[in-house]
Chain A
């Protein structure tokens, strides 16, 4: 993002930002990124926007809902459940 000495670092950091946000990096990598961020406001700004994107996606379901469940379908589902529970009982679980 920045020209000059940080340019390479920014690209490397950019590739790891999701893993950094998800706390899926090892401690050493995490420290490296934190150090870079301390000194790179554009990367922090980008990271914040990515973090906001992720939090906006959480539970971001469409407003659409399926139509009401047909009673016949419910009966079929219930019959399948009962049958599998009988199997479970037979297996002694």
Chain B
């Protein structure tokens, strides 16, 4: 991912310096990124295609505004975020339901022992089938999140923007990003935990 980021910055720098040979690669990289983000945010393939196209058009139209190539990723995502808002559909951008920390507190055993009711994460095998399954669980979990939490985890953890960059993209304070991100992570963790527990009990039963 660090290499991806360096590559994006280099492509932006090349384009700012007027090297059009970077153009196609830049389009390829960001079109795919924005499409995937928009698909998670809007929930419709057709909308995601339009968001990707509209975003790239705005990016190039305003390319002279990009002063610092190091900021290219948050800059593009800020435009993408606005393009997603334009595609707002009630079903996916429903009135926001707040997630409470209490909902995600794991319970200890009734007898006060320290055993937690969580899956055995240390036994997570690193095979490809499971990885693909976990990826599906994560996508499903993210898509089920209320929009403001979904945006926070998509930008911070999936796209790996910094807290400061995410705050800038979403037009909120860094504290707000941290609060939303933590709740989003807890919700995704809970879904993964539920999935692993089901899987482990299935394996145990043979």
Identify the closest chain A residue to B174 (Cβ). A24
Q: Which of B39, B60, B153, B178 has the most CB of A within 10 A?
A: B60
Contact B32 A65 (CB under 8 A): yes
Question: What are the interface flags for B128-144 relative to A under an 8 Å C-beta threshold, 1 for contact and 0 otherwise?
Answer: 00000011001100100
Q: Identify B64's interface contact among A2, A17, A24, A91, CB under 8 A.
A: A91
Contact A56 B134 (CB under 8 A): yes
Per DSSP, chain A at the interface is helix
Q: Given A19-B178, A61-B158, A67-B49, A52–B64 Cβ distance below 8 Å?
A: no
The interface stretch among B76-84, B104-112, B198-206 is: B104-112
Residues of B within 8 Å of A85, CB to CB, are 18, 63-64
A selection of 5 A-B contacts at a CB cut-off of 8 Å is A14-B105, A42-B106, A49-B119, A49-B193, A64-B45
Contact of B35 with A by CB under 8 A = yes
Q: Given A2-B108, A2-B114, A49-B121, A81–B45 Cβ distance below 8 Å?
A: no
Q: Identify A19's interface contact among B32, B182, B193, CB under 8 A.
A: B182
Identify the closest chain B residue to A22 (Cβ). B163
Residues of A within 8 Å of B16, CB to CB, are 88
A85 to chain B, nearest CB (A): 6
Identify the closest chain B residue to A88 (Cβ). B64
Residues of A within 8 Å of B122, CB to CB, are 48
B155 to chain A, nearest CB (A): 11
Contact A50 B64 (CB under 8 A): no
Contact A62 B157 (CB under 8 A): no
Identify the closest chain B residue to A21 (Cβ). B185
Alpha-carbon distance A29/B9, docked complex (angstroms)? 34
Alpha-carbon distance A54/B189, docked complex (angstroms)? 9
Contact B118 A45 (CB under 8 A): yes
Alpha-carbon distance A22/B182, docked complex (angstroms)? 11
